[in-house]
Amino acid sequence: MKIGTILDQIDLAWPHGLQEGYSQPVALLLDEGKETLEAASKAGYRCFTDSDEFRAYVTNEILASATEEVAVR
């Protein structure tokens, strides 16, 4: 494989996490095939294939942890 070869496309991706440096890489894959999901997962992304699941992740994990951080300060 050549460097720079496009293997697949991801609908939305945050390679440094939604909170850069505090959360893992995240990808939203809508109507993508199994190969795309496997490639993104192998690349270290936490993958979501459903927008409702993604929203729940943002609300329950990302926003909740941000609120906890503010409360601790």
- Tell which wins on pLDDT, 73 or 47: 47
Q: Region 62-70: what's the mean pLDDT?
A: 70
- Tell which wins on pLDDT, 7 or 9: 9
Residue 35: is its pLDDT beyond 50? yes
Q: Residue 21 has what pLDDT?
A: 78
> Is residue 19 classed exposed, middle or buried when 0-12, 13-18 and 19+ CB atoms within 10 A define those classes?
middle
The domain spans of the chain are 12-72
pTM above 0.85, yes or no: no
Dihedral sign of CA atoms 4, 24, 33, 60 in order:
negative
Q: Residue 50 has what pLDDT?
A: 93
